[in-house]
Amino acid sequence: MTYRCGNRYQIQMFPESMEDCIAKDDPVRAYDAFVDALNLSKLEFEIDGHKAGTPEYHPRTLLKLLIYGYCYGIRSSRKLERAVHHNISFIWLVGGLKPDHKTIARFRASNKKAIKNVLKQCARMCIDLDLIDGNVLFVDGSKFRANASINQTWTEERCEKVLIKVDVRIDRLLDECERIDKEEQGSPSLVKLKEELKDQEALKARVEAVHKELKERKLRSVNTTDSECVKVKGRQGTHAGYNAQIVADEKHGLIVNSDVVNESNDINQFANQMEQAQETLGKKCEVACGDAGYSNARELKKVDDQNITAIVPSQKQAYDTPAKEFEKSQFQYDAGKDCYACPQGHSLPYSYFCKDKEHRVYQIEDPSKCTACPHFGVCTKDKEGRRIRRLVNEETKLKLEAQYKKPECQAIYKLRKQKVELPFGHIKSNLGAGAFLLRGLDGVNAEMSLLASCFNIRRMITLFGVLPLIAKLVG
């Protein structure tokens, strides 16, 4: 049997141009057409062909490089630099240009706001292509690691402990330096001690600066590497990170809006994310859907007041918690008298308002009725009597809980996972983007916009095919 062996010195007839190296239906052509269809001026890129000085790379070329690289999990500026030297599709995409990693990184860092707007223009492009209806929207959040270590997160308590240890160490070093000076021993050890003393004093100055920042800004904690990230809990434990939010459309699951917030949960995000999505759509949606993490009566009321059907289960509904004996639902509320009646017929009138948690507290006037009740110890163990807490937006909460149970709402809620959780799975698993490269809210928002746009482009290629999509984008 003979074998095929290559010969590096064999003279061959190469294509006359790079254009002949890429097939007509190669996906890279769709990415090229997509970026060509973007209006860079509306994205707020600085376009000036008459600028004095050394010629720069055109923003469109570098944006193509970033988007195509992100779509195939290549986000590092050094890896992108390597790709434009060795990968034929990258070489074709940038027309044979060879930007170095510093140029790529500088472009990404200095155009964060413009890059963030890419998704908005991508979504509006999908609306024009009849891929997004904007009638039913799904929102979800996911935790992404920040480009910072959790060990660089400082609290006031940690600062105080470190400062005490540093002060003790500095005192010991000063005593040691004084002792060596008196004994006139060799200078090498004294030099080492003075270097360590200098390091300890520098550490003290840094910690004191962090401690001062915590007090002035009234923060619980701050990360000295990325001051805008927060401590988040994920499947892999606790780490420094951000909370990424996306809003997806029901029709094809395309992303309408992306946002990154420095909050560890979704509780305050429902109305805000829907407002941003509707701004992109240019109209009001009919249904807004989210999981139990968004169950906040105050936020849901903002959406409900716009006559939008909000489908968000309460924590109890999401986990299907069985009803407990003598729970709040078994107490009857009388709106006219503004009081509750317990199952034994005793009245619990309004007592006071809790500002922190925004609820009204109702309590029995005569505690002896509770202590003498046969259910004392089950209904309540408090000798002051049973208390009932009623939210300011309690009526909205009860209305939405009943709305969630409707069959038509249940049918929509079942679509939530495949519409809005799928993009996060693609971004994290297929694109390998479980952590951000840039720091600060502006940086991570720009990256999230690129990642969301990559998902949309992939989906558009799947729906249309490469050649039909290019024809539509050119048109």
CA distance 305 to 269: 16
Rounded to two decimals, the pTM is 0.86
Tokens of 443: 């940086």
* Cβ-count burial 382-393 (b if 16+ within 10 Å, e if not): eeebbebebbeb
Q: What is the pLDDT of residue 191?
A: 61
Q: How confident is the model at residue 73 (pLDDT cuts 50, 70, 90)?
A: very high
- Which range (182-196, 278-292, 293-307, 461-475) has the least confidence? 182-196
Tokens of 83: 């790709």
Q: How confident is the model at residue 261 (pLDDT cuts 50, 70, 90)?
A: very high
Mean pLDDT of 158-169: 81
- Which range (11-15, 147-151, 338-342) has the least confidence? 11-15
- Which range (30-39, 264-273, 375-384) has the least confidence? 375-384
pLDDT, tens digit, 9 for 90 and up, residues 291-336: 999 999 999 999 999 999 999 998 888 887 777 888 888 888 888 8
Mean pLDDT of 167-171: 77
Query: Does the structure show a pLDDT above 80 at 185?
Result: no
Q: What is the pLDDT of residue 282?
A: 92
- Decide: 346 and 379 in contact? Cβ < 8 Å: no
Which comes out higher in pLDDT, residue 323 or 39? 39
Q: pLDDT averaged over the chain?
A: 88
Mean pLDDT of 233-251: 90
Which comes out higher in pLDDT, residue 212 or 114? 114
Query: Does the structure show a pLDDT above 60 at 106?
Result: yes
pLDDT, tens digit, 9 for 90 and up, residues 107-124: 999 999 999 999 999 999
SS3 sequence, the chain?
CCCCCCCCCCCCCCCCCHHHHCCCCCHHHHHHHHHHHCCCCCCCCCCCCCCCCCCCCCHHHHHHHHHHHHHCCCCCHHHHHHHHHHCHHHHHHCCCCCCCHHHHHHHHHHCHHHHHHHHHHHHHHHHHCCCCCCCEEEEEEEEEECCCCHHHEEEHHHHHHHHHHHHHHHHHHHHHHHHHHHHCCCHHHHHHHHHHHHHHHHHHHHHHHHHHHHHHHCCCEEECCCCCCEEEEECCEEEEEEEEEEEEECCCCCEEEEEEECCCCCCCCHHHHHHHHHHHHCCCCCEEECCHHHCCHHHHHHHHCCCCEEECCCHHHHCCCCCCCCCHHHCEEECCCCEEECCCCCEEEEEEEECCCCEEEEECCCHHHHHCCCCCCCCCCCCCCCEEEEECCHHHHHHHHHHHCCHHHHHHHCCHHHHHHHHHHHHHHHCCCCECCCCHHHHHHHHHHHHHHHHHHHHHHHHHCHHHHHHHHHC
Residue 447: closest CA among 15, 21, 70, 42 = 70
Q: What is the pLDDT of residue 423?
A: 95
